[in-house]
Structure 1
Amino acid sequence: MGPKESLKVGIVGAAGRPRIFAQALADHPRAAVAAICDVTEERLQQAATYFGSCPAFLSFESMLEETELDAVIIGTPMQFHVEQSLLALEHDLHVISEVPAGISLEECRQLTAAAARSKGQYIMAENCNYMKPHMMIANMARSGLFGELYYAEGEYLHEVKELNERTPWRRQWQTGINGITYGTHSIGPILDWMDGDRIAKVSCIGSGHHYTDSLNRPYAIEDTCVMTAKTERGRLIKIRLDMLSERPGALNYELQGTRGCYESIRYELLGGGKVYLKREGEQKHEWTDLSVAGKEYIPDIWHRLPESMLGSSGHGGSDYVMMTDFLNALTENKPSPISIHKALDMTLPGLISQLSIERGGEWLNVPDSRAWI
């Protein structure tokens, strides 16, 4: 099957997170928004300001039945991701779903089975994998510059107490469950660097409870949760999630190999970071800016990024780059960049962490979705 002439895309939750993809969809030569869906007429009117005039629906099922589509973007709250992905996959549509892939092991099993049956491809929209520094590090790691990889860290520090009050679903599904449920922003880039590996077992502990919500109810999630993980190849990973502590936000990462390492800049949300690469005959270890050491490892897709997309509203351009890469794959009939199994490699460790933290940090095995089909 050759390249597709035009990819007709439907968007659910269109007035929310998917609005950040409007420019990438508009710029793509072989993709077009064919329908939008949201929960109120007001939100549909808001979505139309981003995506233009097209059929609009208050029912996801109606959009699938009444519109000729090739793919759907699912930008709804996380508890709806699997339900809506299943419906789309049953219609043999491609799915681009926000993170995480699912909120329970049973949901993830259902999603795996549906993706195996469908003619459509499943893709999970983990934008942290597409941040420029992370893609550079992935290329450097695959080129062997860091040697044999054996350790990594990822931290997602994003205080959301006020946001919880405006979006109750977050109160229930992000801070209403203990553990690292919302961990794909940290896990995703690390597994991309450790290409071909997966997390095989985890242990999770927390720092206790020090905050309450507007009704003076304690949050189920502990202020900081730390998950230690071992991969199938024996690598060690540490993941920290903190959505409650009073502090500025940060995305922190570290990668260590036998010939070098990477450290992000902790206080810069989208900072490039520093690398150390071992060189023959060197007398001391010195850091080099990633922008210098990794210049030749910038992916081509980043060179084509419009300057207007560099703003923080699109996570430094990563949202535009990610959606463009997804649309390229679907229109050129290439394998999905973040397939069902890669998506679940990022999602399942967090679900198992819920059980581990409940059991005082007990080490528990993480299932491999590839064994479910």
Structure 2
Amino acid sequence: MGISVGIVGVGQFGQHFVQLFRDHPNVNRVAICDLKPERLAACARKFGINETYSSLDEICRSDLDALAIFTQHWLHAQHAIQAMEAGKHVLSAVPPAYGRTPEEALEWCDRLVETVKRTGQIYMLAETTYYRPETMFCRKKAAEGAFGQFVYAEGEYFHDMSHGLYEVLRNRWGAEFGPDKTGDPPMFYPTHSTSGIISVMKARMVEVSAMGYVQPNDDWFRTDTIWRNPFCNQVALFRMSNGAIARICEFRRIGHVGREGFRIYGTEASFEWDVSGAKWVTKAGWEFVDPTVARDPLPEPLASNLGGHGGSHAYIVHEFVSACNEGRLPAINVWEAVRYFAPGVVAHQSAMRDGELLKIPDWGDPPS
């Protein structure tokens, strides 16, 4: 039993997944696709891939079972929909959708969910925080009831612009890049900071009040761009469906190492995770913990090559391949994916309205 997979977009991020798919014991064929002939050829040589395609249209006409989409982030939803309508299962890089306005971004969420329902294809979001060992550790503690009742959580994605983001965004736009393309809203990229909290609590975010920080004389985050966004940093306070409160920070100008992380507090125990490490805290005291002991098993050779983002890449590949082979919903299915993404979009709306409390739309639970 095995599936065939095509990887669409083999740039800086997509290349990290080629070897993992190639080496998975339940993948029997791997193809790659990229618009740039030189990059496509170099990737094919590096990983020994013989099947290549020069466009999404071309690879959608193939007989491959599934496509892993690693294209520009504002094209993820469009490309995922095109692939599913061509009969392909889809793994999509984050975020699942995007838009020049919050309304457009939420409309793409509508279309994504509708396409999954209509086509019956499998959709999975490649969210890395979900498969970090700290998140696995907390999910297991939650399953044991060790937290008690959840009361509060904090999550953050700190990625200062000086840590490569200028170059990344210029490269993504290519020849289309210009001053009007800079400064998209930080909260439009929220899944690294929301997914850990949502997946551990098994609760969704239902309403939000948010505010933004405007850097004086900022030449990147400005209201005269296609995004009309003045905020380099945004902070949001959410009410969860279980009654807990969560605070999320999306910062792009911050004197801090790059970080995806969270802290979760319950009535009986809490989990704190910062630059000093991970700690389990109770009413009696606290101790450092090693979350890697909570990692789920993986088949070889993936177990010996976990990949980046805290060793999450191998787990993303394995879950997607397993879901496709078994014909089941993946852990981060489309209904879960939009619950990670939509809260950030509405938080940006709130910040643009000076903190107005707004309801967050929901697309329901996946079919049982």
Same fold (TM over 0.5): yes
Structure 1 length-normalised TM: 0.86
* Residues 191 and 62 (structure 1), Cα distance of their counterparts in 2 relative to 1, 3 Å cut: same
Q: Residue 316 in 1 paired to residue 310 in 2? A: yes
2:357 pairs, out of 347, 350, 363, with: 363
Q: Aligned residue for 1:207? A: 213
What SS does the corresponding residue of 1:256 show, helix, strand or coil? strand
Q: Distance in 1 between matches of 2:188 and 2:261?
A: 18
Q: Distance in 1 between matches of 2:180 and 2:364?
A: 26
Q: Distance in 2 between matches of 1:147 and 1:215?
A: 41
Q: CA deviation at 1:52?
A: 2.3
2:32 pairs, out of 29, 36, 41, with: 36
Gaps of 5+ in 2: 99-104
Q: Residue 276 in 1 paired to residue 288 in 2? A: no
Q: Say whether the 8 Å CA contact 2:335–2:366 is kept in structure 1.
A: no
Q: CA deviation at 1:45?
A: 1.6
Q: Residue 224 in 1 paired to residue 218 in 2? A: no
Q: Aligned residue for 1:9? A: 5
1:167 pairs, out of 166, 169, 179, with: 169
What SS does the corresponding residue of 1:287 show, helix, strand or coil? strand
Q: Say whether the 8 Å CA contact 2:96–2:125 is kept in structure 1.
A: yes
Q: Distance in 2 between matches of 1:231 and 1:339?
A: 20
- Which letter does structure 1 place at the counterpart of 2:4? K
Q: Distance in 2 between matches of 1:346 and 1:276?
A: 26
Structure 2 length-normalised TM: 0.87
Q: Say whether the 8 Å CA contact 1:309–1:316 is kept in structure 2.
A: no
Q: Residue 177 in 1 paired to residue 172 in 2? A: no
Gaps of 5+ in 1: 279-284
Q: How does 1:57-76 map to 2 (within 5 A)?
A: 57-65=53-61, 67-76=62-71
Deviation larger for 346-355 or 177-186: 177-186
Identity %: 29
Q: Residue 198 in 1 paired to residue 204 in 2? A: yes
Q: How does 1:114-125 map to 2 (within 5 A)?
A: 114-125=115-126
Q: Distance in 1 between matches of 2:151 and 2:87?
A: 40
Q: Say whether the 8 Å CA contact 2:182–2:221 is kept in structure 1.
A: no
* Residues 307 and 124 (structure 1), Cα distance of their counterparts in 2 relative to 1, 3 Å cut: closer
Aligned-residue Cα RMSD (Å) equals: 2.8
- Which letter does structure 1 place at the counterpart of 2:322? N
Q: Distance in 2 between matches of 1:154 and 1:199?
A: 13
* Residues 79 and 33 (structure 1), Cα distance of their counterparts in 2 relative to 1, 3 Å cut: farther
Q: Aligned residue for 2:289? A: 290
Deviation larger for 136-145 or 209-218: 209-218
- Which letter does structure 1 place at the counterpart of 2:256? R
Q: CA deviation at 1:30?
A: 1.4
Q: Aligned residue for 1:186? A: 193
Q: Distance in 2 between matches of 1:227 and 1:51?
A: 42
Q: Say whether the 8 Å CA contact 1:33–1:54 is kept in structure 2.
A: no
Q: How many pairs were matched up?
A: 352
2:258 pairs, out of 249, 253, 264, with: 249
Q: CA deviation at 1:174?
A: 9.7
Which of structure 1's runs of 4+ aligned residues deviate more than 3 A? Answer: 169-175, 210-221, 302-308
Q: CA deviation at 1:218?
A: 9.0
Q: Residue 45 in 1 paired to residue 41 in 2? A: yes
